[in-house]
């Protein structure tokens, strides 16, 4: 045997596969558009403090509800604040909160789903009935209750979103695991006497990882919508911090007078969500999961 073959500790497989999937995503029209939108939003969110032409707090009392002009590209709102500046800054909170909460959600939901898919039996039955019960509530309701009870703060918001959005992930990953658990390599691992943790980590996770990734992208888009809905209802970001949901809510009153106040944040929010959805779609197709995914969600 050649020593070179044995001593090489490189694991080229995973990185190369990730690169291949990424380039496949970029080659699809939906992936190219989606990923560009998402990256654009990320760049704006990072750079907006320097990009914004005005201070988002400054109220220009003589320029209230001014239509779009050379000075104010998207006009001003009812308090005389520059809409463009607020739109540029308005996605930061949403992206920060959802960007942290989504990985947390798919982590706990995914692991529990894989565990239940492997474990089966009464534990599986009981947990899944609980999942059904929670999912039967309209999602925004428990979210509002928790946020109102613990009154604000990003940490509470992140944890609440992570918990709530992890629940549908349990169901999806449990179903994906069921497709793998019945295969002979899992049976072989059980016959060898491996622990459940080993089987979950080494045999099951690599086979449902793709599903987890796609699920994460889809949960992110739902979470962004829910976050904006909370802000719209006044339970999200505290004024005067700019946020799309909240700004839409405030500008709604003057919609017939000054539609730009609503249109700016709305287009920003929907372009982000469309971007995330298109990316998720292309990712699912690149991973060959699009058909399975439709059946589950």
Partner 1 sequence: MGLDPVIELTELSIGFTGRDGQDVPVLRDVSLAVRPGESLGIVGESGSGKSTVALAAMGFLKHGLRRLTGQVRFDGRDMFALSRQDREAIRGGQLGLIPQNSGQALTPTMRIGAQLCEALRLHCNLAQSQCLPRAEALLAQVRLPDPGAIMQRYPHQLSGGQQQRVAIAMALAGEPRALLLDEPTTGLDVTTQAHILALLRDLAVERNMAMVFVSHDLGVIAHSCQRVAVMYAGEVVLDGPAQEVLKRPAHPYPRALLSAIPRLCDARLPRALDGRPPAPGQGGAGCAFADRCAMVQTGCRQVHPDLTRAPGGQTVRCLRADEVVALTPHAADRPALRHGPSGDVALHLRDVAICYHRPGLAARLLGRDTPPPATVDGISLEVRAGQTLGLVGESGSGKSTILKAVAGLMPPLAGEISARGAVLPTQVRRRRPDTLRKIQMIFQNPDESLNPRQTIEQILAQPLRLYFGLEGVQLRERAAELLETVRLGAHMLDRLPGQLSGGEKQRVAVARAFAAEPDIVLCDEVTSALDVSVQAAVLDLLDDLKRSKHTTYVFVSHDLAVVRALADQVAVLYQGRLCEAGPVEQVYSGPSHPYTALLLNAVLEPVTGHAPHLEAEDVVELSPPASGCPFQRRCPRKLGRICDTESPPEQMGADGHSIRCHIPRAEL
The footprint of partner 1 (CB under 8 A) covers 1-2, 5-8, 10-13, 183-185, 187-194, 198, 202-203, 206-207, 209
Query: Of 198 and 270, which CB lies nearer to partner 1 in the complex structure?
Result: 198
SS3 of 193-261:
CCCHHHHHHHHHHHHHHHHHHHHHHHHHHHHHHHHHHHHHHCCCCCCCCCCHHHHHHHHHHHCCCCCHH
Chain-centroid distance of CA 250 in Å reads: 25
Query: Of 183 and 252, which CB lies nearer to partner 1 in the complex structure?
Result: 183
Query: Of 188 and 267, which CB lies nearer to partner 1 in the complex structure?
Result: 188
Residues 291, 206: Cα–Cα separation, whole Å? 19
Helix orientation angle between 154-181 and 205-233, rounded to the nearest 10 degrees: 150
| Minimum separation from the CB atom of position 285 to partner 1 (A) | 18
SS3 (DSSP) at 82? strand
Residues 91, 16: Cα–Cα separation, whole Å? 33
Query: Of 188 and 255, which CB lies nearer to partner 1 in the complex structure?
Result: 188
Handedness of CA 82, 85, 86, 88 (dihedral sign): positive
Query: Of 150 and 185, which CB lies nearer to partner 1 in the complex structure?
Result: 185
Query: Of 189 and 229, which CB lies nearer to partner 1 in the complex structure?
Result: 189
| Minimum separation from the CB atom of position 185 to partner 1 (A) | 4
| Minimum separation from the CB atom of position 184 to partner 1 (A) | 4
Helix orientation angle between 154-181 and 121-135, rounded to the nearest 10 degrees: 130
| Minimum separation from the CB atom of position 212 to partner 1 (A) | 13
Tokens of 249: 């809510």
Residues 120, 226: Cα–Cα separation, whole Å? 32
| Minimum separation from the CB atom of position 35 to partner 1 (A) | 25
| Minimum separation from the CB atom of position 64 to partner 1 (A) | 60
């Amino acid at each position: 045997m050649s020593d070179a073959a044995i001593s090489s500790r490189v694991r080229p497989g995973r990185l190369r596969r990730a690169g291949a999937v990424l380039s496949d995503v970029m080659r699809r029209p939906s992936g190219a558009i989606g990923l560009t939108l998402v990256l654009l939003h990320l760049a704006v969110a990072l750079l907006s403090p320097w990009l914004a032409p005005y201070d988002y707090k400054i109220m220009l009392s003589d320029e209230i509800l001014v239509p779009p002009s050379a000075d104010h590209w998207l006009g001003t709102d009812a308090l005389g604040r520059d809409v463009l500046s607020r739109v540029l800054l308005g996605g930061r909170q949403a992206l920060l909160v959802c960007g942290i909460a989504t990985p947390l959600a798919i982590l706990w939901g995914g692991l529990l789903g894989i565990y239940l898919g492997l474990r089966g039996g009464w534990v599986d039955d009981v947990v899944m009935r609980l999942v059904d019960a929670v999912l039967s509530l309209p999602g925004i309701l428990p979210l509002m209750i928790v946020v109102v009870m613990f009154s604000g703060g990003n940490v509470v918001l992140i944890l609440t979103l992570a918990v709530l959005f992890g629940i549908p992930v349990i169901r999806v990953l449990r179903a994906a695991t069921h497709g793998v658990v019945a295969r002979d390599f899992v049976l072989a691992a059980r016959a060898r006497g491996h622990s459940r943790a080993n089987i979950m980590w080494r045999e099951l996770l690599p086979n449902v990882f793709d599903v987890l990734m796609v699920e994460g992208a889809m949960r992110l888009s739902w979470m962004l919508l829910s976050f904006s809905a909370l802000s719209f209802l006044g339970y999200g970001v505290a004024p005067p911090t700019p946020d799309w949901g909240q700004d839409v809510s405030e500008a709604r009153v003057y919609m017939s007078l000054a539609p730009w106040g609503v249109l700016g944040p709305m287009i920003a929010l929907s372009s982000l969500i469309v971007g995330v959805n298109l990316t998720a779609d292309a990712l699912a197709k690149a991973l060959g999961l699009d058909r399975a995914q439709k059946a589950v969600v």
